[in-house]
C-alpha cells in the first residue's frame, strides 16, 4: 500500500464521518461546519485523482461562497431546533426510500466499474481528468447543449431574483432613485420671509410686566 492509497483512505474516512455528523448534529452551525470539512476532504480526493481544477472549484465555490452564505443565514435566523425536529419520524419513510434509491444507483455504477466495463475510456482520459483543456473541450463540443441550457436556466434565475427584489410591497418603505436624482433645490428648500422682531422691546416689556406683578403682590400683602 503506497502513500497515495493511505491518503485516499484517510480522506474518505474523514469525509464519511463528516457527512454522518452533518445529518446527526443538533446544532445547524455545527452541521454546516462539518459539511465544509466534507468538502475539503472531497477536494483532497480530487487532488489525488489529478483533478486539480475540480478540487479548486469545489473549495472556492462551495466552501468559499455557498457554505459561507449558509452560515450567515443560519446564524442570522432564529431557528427553533425543537420545532424542526417534530416531524422527523413523519419524513423518515420518504427519506429512507430516497436514500435507498441513491445507494442502489451508486452500487450499480460501482459494480459496473468493478466488472471492468469502460476501463479503456478511463485509461485514455485519466491523465486529463481534471485539466482545464480537456474539460473545456468536452463542455464546448460533446456537452455544448447541456451547457447552454444550464446557462439559460441560470439567466432566468438571475432575472427572477432581480424581479422579486424590485417588486413593490405595501409593508416596506422605499424611495424612487429616479425622483431622488431629478430633485431640485426649490423642491427641498423653501425660503420664507418673516417680519423682523425687536428683541430689546420684548425684553423691556417682559421686565416691566415682571415689575408690575411684583408691585401688585407687594400691595396685596
Domain ranges across the chain:
1-86, 185-220
Higher confidence at residue 143 or residue 131? 143
Could you say which DSSP state residue 60 is in? I
Q: Report, at the CATH architecture level, how domain 1-86 is classified.
A: Up-down Bundle (1.20)
DSSP string covering 48-59:
HTT-HHHHHHII
Give the pLDDT score at 80: 66
pTM equals: 0.52
Contact indicator for 49, 130 with CB cutoff of 8 Å? yes
Could you say which DSSP state residue 13 is in? H
Instruction: Say how far apart CA 47 and CA 38 lie, in whole Å.
Output: 14
Q: How confident is the model over 160-165, as a mean pLDDT? A: 81
Q: Which three cell numbers mark 62?
A: 462551495
Give the pLDDT score at 117: 52
Amino acid at each position: 500500500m503506497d502513500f497515495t492509497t493511505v491518503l485516499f483512505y484517510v480522506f474518505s474516512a474523514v469525509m464519511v464521518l463528516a457527512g454522518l455528523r452533518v445529518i446527526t448534529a443538533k446544532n445547524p452551525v455545527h452541521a454546516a461546519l462539518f459539511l465544509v470539512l466534507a468538502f475539503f476532504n472531497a477536494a483532497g480526493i480530487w487532488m489525488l485523482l489529478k483533478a486539480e481544477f475540480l478540487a479548486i472549484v469545489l473549495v472556492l465555490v462551495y466552501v468559499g461562497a455557498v457554505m459561507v452564505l449558509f452560515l450567515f443565514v443560519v446564524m442570522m435566523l432564529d431557528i427553533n431546533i425543537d420545532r424542526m425536529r417534530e416531524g422527523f419520524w413523519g419524513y423518515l419513510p420518504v427519506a429512507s426510500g430516497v436514500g435507498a434509491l441513491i445507494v442502489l444507483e451508486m452500487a450499480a455504477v460501482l459494480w459496473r466499474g468493478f466488472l471492468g466495463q469502460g476501463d479503456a475510456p478511463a485509461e485514455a482520459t485519466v491523465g486529463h481528468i481534471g485539466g482545464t483543456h480537456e474539460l473545456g473541450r468536452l463542455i464546448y463540443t460533446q456537452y455544448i447543449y447541456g451547457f447552454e441550457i444550464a446557462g439559460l436556466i441560470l439567466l432566468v434565475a438571475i432575472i427572477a431574483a432581480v424581479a422579486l427584489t424590485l417588486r413593490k410591497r405595501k409593508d416596506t418603505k422605499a424611495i424612487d432613485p429616479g425622483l431622488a436624482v431629478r430633485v431640485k433645490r426649490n423642491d427641498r428648500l423653501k425660503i420664507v420671509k418673516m417680519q423682523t422682531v425687536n428683541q430689546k422691546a420684548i425684553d423691556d416689556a417682559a421686565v416691566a410686566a415682571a415689575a408690575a406683578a411684583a408691585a401688585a403682590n407687594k400691595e396685596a400683602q
